[in-house]
Amino acid sequence: MSSPLIQPTGKGLYCAAGDFYIDPWRPVSRAVITHAHADHARAGSEQYWAASPGLGLLRRRLGPRGVIHGVDYGVPVQFGPVAVSLHPAGHILGSAQIRVEYRGEVWVASGDYKRDADPTCAPFEPLACDTFITEATFALPVYRWPAVESVAADIHAWWQRNASERRTTMLFSYALGKAQRLLAALPAEHPGPIYLHGAVAPLTQDYRDAGVELPPTRMVSEAAKDEDYGSSLVIAPPSAAGSTWMRRFRKPVTGFASGWMRIRGNRRRRGHDRGFVISDHVDWPGLLQTIRDTGARQVLTTHGRADELVRYLNEQGLQARPLATLFGDDEDSD
Ligand SMILES: [Zn+2]
């Protein structure tokens, strides 16, 4: 039996026929990157290939070293006898599924992805393949996402109420992808200005530089010392909660935007006033739909609920098994 086209190694997912890695976690000579989140895009490799719209984010993540080749969606790159093309994953700006074709066999590595509409990145493109490597972050039936418009309307109403009481609305969200998606989803009329934490602002500028339209924002670091944040919405990363940075806001009302908020206990544990269910990962119905869309004979699972998903797919008569990776299950990166 010939060896699989893509297999896990100590450095990451490796395609021997084309001699390249996908999202390697150790430095390699050739890395194909699905997206700029920290557990997928690691510094130290010699050459990177990634989808063009995410190049600004990737350069910020990787630092000045390493050659980065921008690849347009759908345009194949040849690594020896292997054709590699990047296709929209709908996860964050520049996110890509990696399609690998060798001697008529097609594998697709999804990276992180979602099926819901998101104006801040290109929509997910279903790809036919023989083997589909899928993420399984939220692979349980309980994870179903409400329409993003209704969540954005809830956030807006909450902000309006807080502003009428002159209390700062503090919304915690992952800094890359989620924060920009929230900004884009908010209704056009705002109860007050929007401020960004220093971890969110430069990434948001990268989105604007890539042509994504977002409402005007200010930086907390550039505000006056005695700034009145009474009517403001402040977007900050989860790590800022409870930090000394928070002291400048008077009586803030806090909310957390995350797919994990689907589980009530998570919200209680984090101690926020509100939880908003919004994720940049695929939910359970979207995951099963996507696997059907690929028509894959074999499904390999990574991240989160990989084992549970394998069990379910096996029960449905599909060939599936978990793929050992080092991708973290970061509860903030959702
Ligand atoms: Zn991601």
pLDDT in tens, 34-61: 999 999 999 999 999 999 999 999 999 9
Using a cut of 0.85, tell me whether the model's pTM lies above it.
Answer: yes
Tell how far the Cα of 82 is from the centroid of ligand 1, in angstroms: 26
Tell how far the Cα of 39 is from the centroid of ligand 1, in angstroms: 8
Q: What's the mean pLDDT when you consider all of the chain? A: 94
Of 39, 10, 46, whose CA–CA distance to 23 is shortest? 39
Residue 326: band (very low, low, confident or very high) from pLDDT cuts 50, 70, 90: low
Give the residue, 305 or 210, on which the prediction is more confident: 210
| Residue 318 contacts residue 291 (beta carbons within 8 Å) | yes
Q: What stretches of the chain adopt beta strand conformation (E)?
A: 7-8, 13-15, 20-22, 30-32, 47-51, 67-71, 77-79, 82-88, 96-102, 105-109, 131-135, 169-172, 194-196, 218-219, 233-236, 253-257, 274-276, 298-302, 319-322
The confidence score (pLDDT) of residue 64 equals 87
The confidence score (pLDDT) of residue 220 equals 97
Give dist(CA 158, CA 140) in Å, integer: 29
Tell me the residues surrounding ligand 1 (ion) with CB < 5 Å. Answer: 37, 112
Give dist(CA 71, CA 132) in Å, integer: 21
Tell how far the Cα of 132 is from the centroid of ligand 1, in angstroms: 17
Give dist(CA 255, CA 276) in Å, integer: 7
Q: What is the CA radius of gyration of the chain?
A: 20
What are the pLDDT digits (tens) for 68-81?
Answer: 999 999 999 999 99
| Strands across the sheet containing 131-135 | 77-79, 82-88, 96-102, 105-109, 131-135, 298-302, 319-322
Q: Across-strand partners of 250?
A: none
Residue 333: band (very low, low, confident or very high) from pLDDT cuts 50, 70, 90: low
Tell how far the Cα of 123 is from the centroid of ligand 1, in angstroms: 15
The confidence score (pLDDT) of residue 93 equals 98
Tell how far the Cα of 167 is from the centroid of ligand 1, in angstroms: 32
Q: Is pLDDT at 204 greater than 60 in this prediction?
A: yes
Q: Is pLDDT at 332 greater than 60 in this prediction?
A: no
Residue 1: band (very low, low, confident or very high) from pLDDT cuts 50, 70, 90: low
What are the pLDDT digits (tens) for 123-139?
Answer: 999 999 999 999 999 99
The confidence score (pLDDT) of residue 330 equals 52
Tell how far the Cα of 193 is from the centroid of ligand 1, in angstroms: 28
Give dist(CA 161, CA 153) in Å, integer: 12
For residues 140-177, one letter each, b for 16 or more C-beta atoms within 10 angstroms of the residue's C-beta and e for the rest, the string is beebebeebeebbebbbebbbebbeeebbbbbbbbbbb
Residue 305: band (very low, low, confident or very high) from pLDDT cuts 50, 70, 90: confident
> What mean pLDDT is predicted for residues 283-307?
94
Place of tokens 């503090």: 170
What the block records as the tokens of 211 is: 């042509």
What are the pLDDT digits (tens) for 236-261?
Answer: 999 999 899 999 998 899 999 999 88
